[in-house]
Amino acid sequence: MRQITASQLDDIALGAAVLGTGGGGDPYIGKLMAKAAIDRNGPVTLLDPSEVDDDALVIPAGMMGAPTVMVEKIPRGTEIITAFEAIQNFLGRKATATMSVEAGGLNSTTPFVVAAELGIPLVDADMMGRAFPEIQMVMPSLYGIKATPMAIADEKGNSAILNTINNKWTETLARTMTVDMGCSAMLAAFAMSGAQVKEAGVGRTITQIESIGRTIRAAQTAHVDPIDAVRRATGGFVIWRGKVTDVARRTETGFARGDAFISGLGEFEGKSLRISFQNEFLIAQTEDEVLVTTPDLITVLDAETGHPITTETLRYGFRVAVLGMPCDRRWRTPAGIALVGPGYFGYKTDYIPIEKRYG
Amino acid sequence: MTLRIGIDVGGTNTDAVLMDGLEVISKIKTPTTEDVTGGITTALRHILQVSGTATSAVAGVMIGTTHFTNAVVERKHLQRTAAVRLGLPATAALPPMVDWPSDLRDVLGGQYYLCHGGYEFDGREISKFDPDEIRAAAADIRTKGIKAIAVSSVFSPVNPEMEGLAAAILSAEVPEAFITKSSDIGRIGLLERENAAILNACLRVLATQTVAAFRRAIKELGISAPLYLTQNDGTLMSADFAEQNPVLTFASGPTNSMRGAAFLSGLKDAMVVDIGGTTADIGALAHGFPREASVAVEIGGVRTNFRMPDVYSFGLGGGSHVSADPLKIGPQSVGYRLTQQALIFGGKVLTASDIAVAAGVANIGDASKVAHLSADLVAAAMNRIQEMCESAVDRMKTSAEAVPVIIVGGGSILISRPIAGASEMVKPNHFEAANAVGAAIAQISGEVDRVFSLASLTRDQALDSAKAEATAKAIQAGADPKTVEIVDVEDVPLTYLPGNATRIRVKAVGDLTLAK
């Protein structure tokens, strides 16, 4: 158990952007909201998963929508509390703690708002160990844990409780609502017991992202190569260096989709890398080979500073390094690949673990 | 356009150069005066007289100024500004100026109005625009005597209509106010665009006064050539446009210095150390251009999303105050009063320039006035100055390898020893006027910002056509066709319009055509 103060959120948000793999929402907005909540209510207690009672009620909370929308339509601030309280009312039980839906991007910090405002602890864990675009793409799905009852709320005051037959249906129905709500909504879902959190959660990821953020900052101060520092901190591989030549984006069916093209520099000269995204970077390939695919992580870093660049800020002319990082082992099971592998997103390629290509 | 005058109006000095093609014909450094005009007039008169040039031969005057950046950094000459944001009930979690340094927010008054309106990503209204709400805000603004207003609205880069409606009401109700719309200034990213709009609004009065002073100075000398100001990306804008958009001059000073340093030294890849009267700027040149920052750049502690050079500034310059016990150098500076207040000029303030003269590495003013300084103090201060520069260079380096370091700026007299980590140290000819040279060789741009329908065109065809048009515009404005390149491409799909429309923004820049 430890206390998280507003000043620690800088490292947490920076590290979250690395695991955010280009998506997961602008960590800056999430950080400011979390800081404001902590300033109003005091530090947030972070619980190690081992400190959570088996019969505790843990309700994860987060944002759903397109990250490109979030940087424009900033939340009202009350949506996530509305959603969280709606689910507590539905269950007739107060939550013992809350938790992050994803360790990557904005959703690593959104539940800090719930924890601070409602005075409950946050579990040091998430449901992905990274960021993914759809609701059912969480580790608890592999353990048969249901997303619903789920509450979803917008800034206008609308909210709804969903009950669905499976987590894919939760995604389908909630996505439609999210689009109608302006592509940005807040949710509380996947109510779990403490025992379930320990089994189906990805543990200690808040501590992990805080450490990644600290590593980047320290590398800058000490003038060691920040790209190499991130690579070592995440067990990843540098798969590309180059200059962004085009970013084609579209906001459709409630997602920020598109492709980024990066012409190679140095040892990659003469070739172009294409990274496709649906909120998150999902597949990195050249004209003749696939380099990395989901569920392994693909992240784009500023070549000079090592700071991660999200899809919405990626622009023509940026000099970048692309990092591939191994995912949680459970994603590599047949059920994991079926849920979040390249085939699910329509890419006709088999998943090959990044260590097999680069290790 | 062969004879051009480049002027850099810094906080301490005004530098001017007269260039004929690629050659520096004459140059001068003169103290910046309180009224701005005086310093420029002195400088212009000098360079024209020395070179025997007729005013009618001058084809263009390019001014780079840190005036507006300094005003924000020093929190001086800023107008109290009200921010009006359309977006309720969204956006209330993070109100305008939320992440600003509190002293700057206090200077501007921190006044904001969250109003209904704004758009969803697909063009639907978040809530109805309410003219009465804007009128109420206007009445309050008038009562409070605020004369600068920034208007922002959610998704205004996709649809600027509500910002326009609000600005029209505000302008009718508070006729004396200067109003800046966020959609005129920036891109997607509400907080950063709004920040830029607020900074622009608070600088408008200063901009009007300053640009008028620039105009007066060149008119008094009978120069009828067009007046340009340099922007943060190293390109030129007309004086009229600059008056409306002073925020676009941010960071143009370091850009000019770095481009001037590259031009004068012939080096394309190097670190540039520019030491002025009050501050030193360190940046990196890559392929002859300033390395651009890819993370959000802060100006005076405020986050923006402009294209800007990645520059580290710290408080060391020729006018920096020096005190002993404990030894302290800067960040206070005598600034443009160096030639009255420094010991070597008969003043009473011990400055970094006095130390350099006492150490025998510079020869300005009256050395006998610093003969009494203790040798220990002089040596310790010189070491500290060296350390400050070396640690800043080290901070901006991205690898451990030694790189060439180009030293420019009037304050570079403070550095006489080799900088640790430099493979070579270059002080090019005209080093003290690199910023003015950079302004004189500023590039010409051509910009396209238009909605394309993708019903009959593919996205690639639309982009190609926008790029060709921007290139043509740059060439037409005087850019050398051989040097024109596309520096910025951005497209925002407007999913709410029928026919799959997209807003494409392309910027092409090139060097001025220079006849040798």
Q: Are the beta carbons of A94 and A191 closer than 8 angstroms?
A: no
- Please write the tens of the pLDDT for every residue from A187-198: 999 999 999 999
Contact B398 A304 (CB under 8 A): yes
- Which tokens go with A315? 């622009």
* B164 contact A CB<8A: no
User: A57 and A197 in one domain?
Assistant: yes
Predicted pLDDT of residue B398: 63
Token look-up 């940005």 returns A184
Q: Which residues of chain A does B155 touch, with a Cβ-Cβ cutoff of 8 Å?
A: 72-73
- A294 part of a folded domain: yes
pTM (predicted TM-score): 0.85
CATH number of the domain to which A289 belongs: 2.40.390.10
pLDDT greater than 60 at residue A100: yes
For chain B, give the longest Cα–Cα distance.
80
CATH number of the domain to which A70 belongs: 3.40.1610.10
Least-confidence region, from A43-47, A142-146, B74-78, B448-452: B448-452
- A210 part of a folded domain: no
* Distance (Å, whole) CA A161 – CA A151: 5
Contact B490 A316 (CB under 8 A): yes
Nearest to A77 among B92, B291, B400 (CB): B92
- A265 part of a folded domain: yes
Query: pLDDT 10s digit of each residue in chain B, 516 long?
Result: 478 999 998 877 899 999 998 899 999 999 888 888 888 999 999 999 998 888 888 988 999 998 898 888 888 899 999 999 999 999 999 999 999 999 999 999 999 999 999 999 878 999 999 999 999 999 999 999 999 999 999 999 888 999 999 999 999 999 999 999 999 887 788 999 999 999 999 999 999 999 999 999 999 889 988 899 998 877 888 899 899 999 999 888 888 999 999 999 999 889 999 998 888 999 988 877 788 776 677 888 899 877 778 888 888 999 999 998 889 998 888 887 888 999 999 999 999 999 999 999 999 999 999 999 999 999 999 999 999 998 888 777 766 678 899 999 988 999 989 998 899 999 999 999 999 999 998 888 888 877 777 777 888 999 999 999 999 988 987 888 998 998 888 887 765 555 567 778 888 988 877 543
Averaged over A271-284, what is the pLDDT? 94
3-state per-residue secondary structure call for B307-341: CCECEEEECCCCCEEEECCCCEEEEEECHHHHHHH
Query: What residue in A sits closest to B507 (Cα-Cα)?
Result: A316
User: A250 and A318 in one domain?
Assistant: yes
User: A246 and A188 in one domain?
Assistant: no
User: A275 and A200 in one domain?
Assistant: no
User: A348 and A230 in one domain?
Assistant: yes
User: A96 and A173 in one domain?
Assistant: yes
User: A201 and A227 in one domain?
Assistant: no
Predicted pLDDT of residue B73: 83
Query: 10 Å Cβ neighbour count for A217?
Result: 18
Question: Given A179, A205, A231, which residue is the final one in a domain?
Answer: A205
Nearest to B99 among A32, A66, A248 (CB): A32
Predicted pLDDT of residue B515: 47
User: A230 and A199 in one domain?
Assistant: no
Minimal Cα–Cα distance from B202 to chain A, Å? 23
Domain tally for chain A?
2
* Distance (Å, whole) CA B174 – CA B171: 5
Contact B87 A318 (CB under 8 A): no
Q: Name the residue range of residue A348's domain.
A: 223-358
User: A47 and A166 in one domain?
Assistant: yes
Nearest to B459 among A66, A157, A248 (CB): A248
* B455 contact A CB<8A: no
- A218 part of a folded domain: no
Question: Given A205, A232, A267, which residue is the final one in a domain?
Answer: A205
User: A153 and A64 in one domain?
Assistant: yes
Predicted pLDDT of residue B516: 36
Q: Are the beta carbons of B150 and B201 closer than 8 angstroms?
A: yes
* Distance (Å, whole) CA B487 – CA A167: 45
Nearest to A73 among B90, B459, B495 (CB): B90
- Which tokens go with B487? 């520096």
- A214 part of a folded domain: no
Task: Enumerate chain A positions whose Cβ falls within 8 A of a Cβ in B.
Answer: 28-29, 32-33, 36, 66, 68-69, 71-77, 155-157, 182-183, 223, 225, 246, 248-252, 302, 304-305, 307, 309, 312-313, 315-319
User: A199 and A243 in one domain?
Assistant: no
- CA end-to-end distance (rounded Å), chain B: 11
Query: What residue in B sits closest to A250 (Cα-Cα)?
Result: B493
Minimal Cα–Cα distance from A348 to chain B, Å? 25
Contact A307 B92 (CB under 8 A): no
User: A173 and A299 in one domain?
Assistant: no
- A215 part of a folded domain: no
Contact B294 A248 (CB under 8 A): no
* Distance (Å, whole) CA B490 – CA B299: 23
- Which tokens go with A297? 């992580």
Provide the number of CB pairs (under 8 Å) joining chain A to chain B: 114
Helix (H, G, I), strand (E, B) or coil at B64: strand
